[in-house]
Amino acid sequence: VFHHEPSMLLVEELCHMTCCQGVIDLTCGSGVWALHCMEGRIPYFGVTLSSIHMDDLRTHLVKQALAANIKNADMCPFALFPV
């Protein structure tokens, strides 16, 4: 559980307001930024807490992408790396 994770609405507004071309996320948490980047096909680089967190987050993101019906989710430019 990540108590200080931003909402999806905040993430969408920040990306729209700043015309972001890519995201470097040093606190992946539950993957809100990663999911938004997958939906918008925005390059994403995230640092996870551990390799277990990385595997769980990757599984969660794939499930979310399938639930959101994101086409070619496996081709989205995102990367996760454990600390």
Report yes or no: 11 and 39 within 8 Å, Cβ to Cβ.
no
Q: Do 37 and 78 touch, CB atoms closer than 8 A? A: yes
> Between vectors from CA 41 to CA 62 and to CA 47, what angle results, nearest 5°?
60
Q: Which amino acid is at 65?
A: A
Q: What is the mean pLDDT of each run of 10 residues along the chain (83 residues)?
A: 80 92 88 89 89 90 79 59 68
The whole-model pTM stands at 0.75
Query: Residue 74: its pLDDT value, please?
Result: 55
